[in-house]
Amino acid sequence: MAAGVAGVFDYRHVFLMTTLLVIINLMMVSSAYKKDYRKA
């Protein structure tokens, strides 16, 4: 029972971390795109 709960917690933790990384990457790319767009 405890192992199952730990597995679900780990899965959610990894999922949240991955989502945060993706969001941060999208923000960086969008900001860089806006800078390039302003230059052009």
The DSSP line for 1-40 is -HHHHHHHHHHHHHHHHHHHHHHHHHHHHHHHHHHHHHH-
Give the pLDDT score at 40.
61
Q: What's the total number of domains in the chain?
A: 1
How far is Cα 15 from Cα 21, in angstroms, rounded to an integer? Answer: 10
Which residue, 12, 20, 19, is CA-closest to 4?
12
How far is Cα 28 from Cα 1, in angstroms, rounded to an integer? Answer: 41
Give the pLDDT score at 16.
93
Give the pLDDT score at 1.
56
Residue 29: give the domain boundaries. Answer: 1-40
Its pTM stands at: 0.58
Q: What is the percent of the chain where pLDDT is above 90?
A: 40
Residue carrying the six token digits 């790319």: 29
Per-residue pLDDT, averaged over 20-31, amounts to 95
Split at pLDDT 50, 70, 90, the class of 19 is very high
